Structure 1
Amino acid sequence: MRQPLRYPWVNFDVDEVAAPAIAVRVDVTETKAEVAAHWHRKGQLVVALGGGVTCRVPSGLWMVPPHCGVWIPGSMEHSNIATANARIFFVYIEPGAADLPDRCCTLSISPLLRELIIELADRVEEDEARDELLTTILLSELPRMPVQQLHLPISSEPRLQRIAEALAQDPADRSTLAEWASRVALSESSLARLVVKETGLSFGRWRQQLHLIVAIRELAAGASVQQVSGDLGYGSVTAFITMFKKALGKPPAKYLASVAHNGGSAFVA
């Protein structure tokens, strides 16, 4: 039997609330906050207006930079990690209340949708008619948001999970494909084929995707480009910026500024 959802960010069981959508504001303190794997019947939209949130689901790792959202369908197991001083909104949506994807995905969040979420979460007094109107508009706007992607595919294959966990712990690890193959008792060519088969990416592209997720999370939390570059093991800031720009079309500062200004539309697949 499912236990009621209880954790520091939401002190009630969201599945017991009958409304088609509810919004909750979370202001994280000076230390990062983590919620262990859990699930609930309602779907969940995770929106960050400051700092960053990383959502992990069985099939991958999803990053929520400022002014973007990650949609997690109902009954999907997930965990959330927020950076220090993050400003987050959770929107819990009844199954079938809106025409939303049945898979985890990143959504652009328009300025209108952002303000609707803030208004629902921060309302001072109950006004049933007004809340119903705001919810109706939110549920009609949300399915119109473009689906974007910035996530790390994670395989259930034990050897790849071992590599993924090691790189998540130490993203600066620059071990070669041959070195990783030796650690998991595979030939270099066998590991290369396995990564492509399980994730759809080459090993180099897969590791780069992890670096992008970590970089955006840390930059959104206020870390400098120099600090992030060093933490990811890049030999120079220029090399890091070149990688970032090639992958996302803009250098870090301009990318984050455009995401904040455009409500998430700076994402590229």
Structure 2
Amino acid sequence: MRQPLSYPWLDLDVDDPAAPAIAVRVDIPDTRAEVPAHRHRKGQLVFALGGGVTCRVPSGLWMVPPHCGVWIPGGMEHSNVATANGRIFFVYIEPGAADLPERCCTFSISPLLRELIIELSDRVEGDGARGELLTKMLLTELPRMPVQQFHLPISSEPRLNRIAEALAQDPADRSTLAEWANRIALSESSLARLVAKETGLSFGRWRQQLHLIVAIRELASGKSVQQVSGDLGYGSVTAFITMFKKALGKPPAKYLSGIAQNGGSAFVA
């Protein structure tokens, strides 16, 4: 069950033009939490130190596993769903304050940048000089981070969006391409062409990408490989591990361990 995520920073003007960067820490309780669709003038980095976050923008779903961050440009509508017991940081960055992309992307987060974000979020009134130094270092370091491209493309095409919504609600749905085509009154070949045109992926690869997003999010929240395998409708744990390893180069446990040890550098598309 998702609970609305409270906004402990409501007293802050995150769009204050006088502040080049504002960092806020949010500790998620023992239930999954959601920030509904919204937008702000500043760009936003969503960083997870523990647990995972799924960010939704009009063009796709982006996964924020531990020690990685998703960049959302200013003015773009987005929503966030965080796993239980997560440690989430939102960093709001003034347009033009750093050389950052004008599109969504996933950044690896170095140990140095991680500590800068944590320190800036803990900043208190009266340490202005130190805060300015932390902000300057953060804005210098962030654009240097490796960019990853792990996300699920979502089209505004109504029929494809309907399938995406259904799979997001029930990722264990194993309906074939032909069955999905029948549901939306298309031929199998027409649906295959539509998915490829709108997402750049085959239907099977597109659905697998969704499974990977869900798997990393749930594993990061503490679920076992066995639980996640069942949630995604795999007939065996071995089949799930094989899929995961083929897609990401490592089995689930080693993959998440690598992220934690290397500050996000194990995160690959």
TM-score (norm 2): 0.96
Match of 1:198 in 2: 198
Match of 1:78 in 2: 78
Q: Which runs of 4+ in 1 moved over 3 A?
A: none
Question: Which secondary structure state, in structure 2, belongs to the residue aligned with residue 174 of structure 1?
Answer: coil
Match of 2:231 in 1: 231
The residue type equivalent to 2:255 in the other structure is Y
Count of aligned positions? 264
Match of 2:9 in 1: 10
Contact 2:98–2:139 (8 Å) recurs in 1: yes
For residues 25 and 97 of structure 2, what CA distance do their matches in structure 1 show?
21
Question: Which secondary structure state, in structure 1, belongs to the residue aligned with residue 79 of structure 2?
Answer: strand
Question: Which secondary structure state, in structure 2, belongs to the residue aligned with residue 75 of structure 1?
Answer: coil
**How far is the alpha carbon of 1:7 from its aligned partner?**
5.0
Contact 1:65–1:217 (8 Å) recurs in 2: yes
**Can you list the C-alpha shifts for 1:235-260, whole angstroms capped at 9, x where unaligned?**
00000000000000100000001011
For residues 21 and 34 of structure 1, what CA distance do their matches in structure 2 show?
23
The residue type equivalent to 2:50 in the other structure is G
Match of 1:141 in 2: 141
Question: Which secondary structure state, in structure 2, belongs to the residue aligned with residue 16 of structure 1?
Answer: coil
**How far is the alpha carbon of 1:146 from its aligned partner?**
0.7
Match of 1:268 in 2: 268
Contact 2:60–2:152 (8 Å) recurs in 1: yes
Gaps of 5+ in 1: 1-5
Identity over aligned pairs, percent:
85
For residues 172 and 126 of structure 2, what CA distance do their matches in structure 1 show?
49
**How far is the alpha carbon of 1:124 from its aligned partner?**
4.5
Match of 1:92 in 2: 92
Match of 2:120 in 1: 120
**How far is the alpha carbon of 1:35 from its aligned partner?**
1.0
For residues 68 and 215 of structure 1, what CA distance do their matches in structure 2 show?
16
Q: Give the CA RMSD over aligned residues.
A: 1.2
For residues 214 and 18 of structure 2, what CA distance do their matches in structure 1 show?
37
For residues 210 and 242 of structure 2, what CA distance do their matches in structure 1 show?
16
Question: Which secondary structure state, in structure 2, belongs to the residue aligned with residue 15 of structure 1?
Answer: coil
Gaps of 5+ in 2: none
**How far is the alpha carbon of 1:18 from its aligned partner?**
2.1
For residues 17 and 52 of structure 2, what CA distance do their matches in structure 1 show?
27
For residues 187 and 205 of structure 1, what CA distance do their matches in structure 2 show?
19
Match of 1:172 in 2: 172
Question: Which secondary structure state, in structure 2, belongs to the residue aligned with residue 247 of structure 1?
Answer: helix
The residue type equivalent to 2:190 in the other structure is S
For residues 185 and 143 of structure 1, what CA distance do their matches in structure 2 show?
45
**How far is the alpha carbon of 1:189 from its aligned partner?**
0.3
Farther off after superposition, 161-170 or 115-124: 115-124
Contact 1:149–1:267 (8 Å) recurs in 2: no
Match of 1:3 in 2: none
The residue type equivalent to 2:94 in the other structure is E
TM-score (norm 1): 0.96
